[in-house]
Amino acid sequence: MEKQLKILKDEIQTSLAQVKDKDTLEAIRIKYLGRKGKINSLFKEIAGLPLEQKKIFGNNINMLKNELSQELNSRLNSFKTKTTTEIDLLLPGKVPHIGHLHPLSKTFNELITFFTNFGFSVATGPEVEYDWYNFEALNMAKDHPARDMFSSFYIKKDLLLRSHTSPTQIRVMEKQKPPIKIICPGRCYRYDAFDASHAPVFHQIEALYVDEGVCFGELKWLLGEFVKFLFGPKTKYELRPSFFPFTEPSGELAISCTICDGAGCAVCGKTGWLELGGCGMVHPQVLKNVKISPKKYSGYALGMGVERIAMIKYVIDDIRVFFNNDIRFLEQF
């Protein structure tokens, strides 16, 4: 019996030395500790031994059984620890699936970067505005016909959703003395049909510079730098005469069509030019409305739709795709 026990111990040691995974460990447990395993079969063989030998070999078999159980549990825990903590630092990293900037956000960032590089600071204002800031202070009286082109959403008589970001300029000029050099990016609202070129909610960015000696030539130079920065040095531009109640003289910026390089196509209506935004010198009456002397100070302002710039830059023919959240469209950016 003693010889059988020694052979079994050696066999167990040999088996444990060959363990490489949890499956092998489980096979050893069944082979030796299972109900029909080799250790339980030894208990059956000691039944015919004298009482004293039963006690001795019984204790020895129980000790072997306990030692093997402890060893198997220890090995099993070590496999679990290795599985959860060991990291192969040579393996390539797992790149998580992350989002990216919306094309409008990318365009906003480019515009803000350009103007801040030229010393403009960012100013913001409320989207729910008083009639004074949205119209009257900008030289548009209650009966001014120019109000019709803004198609505003009125909440009550003198309160509306702002139809452009120009009210922010008025708020800054009321509180700050020149020199004033700001840009006003933000969301605007107009009662327009939601079609390929119009949206009831859209985004604008406007710039304002008020100081002594500010002239139209400086505005034209800034617009030229703007076109080169956003559309490339080969893009041509021109300033056309226009009218806005809050600027005098007023102009409209147009660039050579980025699709046909000015040759004429369906996008530019065969003209070779694309309108980009309005600009001009701040009207003296607007300066008076915010208690800035037009005799001492002058300034220029410009504004443009962010969606329009993004459509030109990325060759998009329908403004509605910016709001549809179609993953097939967004993944292109």
- pTM for the model: 0.69
Residue where a domain terminates, one of 50, 85, 120:
85
Which of 34, 56, 85 is the last residue before a domain boundary? Answer: 85
Residue 98 lies in a domain: no
Q: Are residues 71 and 171 in the same domain?
A: no
Q: Any idea which of 9-23, 150-164, 238-252, 316-330 has the lowest mean pLDDT?
A: 9-23
pLDDT reported for residue 2: 67
Tell me the pLDDT tens digit for each residue of 161-192.
999 999 999 999 999 999 999 999 999 999 88
154 and 76 co-located in one domain = no
Say if residue 249's pLDDT is above 90: yes
In the predicted model, what is the mean pLDDT of residues 142-155? 86
| Domain boundary pick from 58, 85, 112 | 85
Q: Is residue 155's pLDDT more than 60?
A: yes
92 within domain boundaries: no
Average per-residue pLDDT for the chain: 86
Taking only the tens place, the pLDDT of each residue in 4-48 is: 767 777 777 777 777 777 778 778 777 777 777 777 777 667 766
Q: Do 202 and 78 sit in the same domain of this protein?
A: no
Residue 163 and residue 188 in contact, taking contact as beta carbons nearer than 8 Å: yes
- For residues 59 and 205, membership in a common domain is answered with no
The CATH number of whichever domain residue 324 belongs to comes to 3.30.930.10
Interval 51-68 mean pLDDT: 74
Residues 78 and 129 in one domain: no
Residue 150 lies inside a defined structural domain of this protein: yes
Residue 223 confidence (pLDDT) above 80? yes
Please give the average per-residue pLDDT across 218-222, as a whole number. 96
Predicted local distance difference test score (pLDDT) of residue 77: 77
- Indicate if 187 and 154 belong to the same structural domain: yes
| Domain count for the chain | 2
Query: Could you read off the pLDDT of 259-286 as tens digits, one per residue?
Result: 777 787 776 778 888 899 999 999 999 9
pLDDT in tens, 111-140: 999 999 999 999 999 999 999 999 999 999
Residue 95 belongs to a domain: no
> Which domain range does residue 324 map to?
104-330
Residue 133 placed within a domain: yes
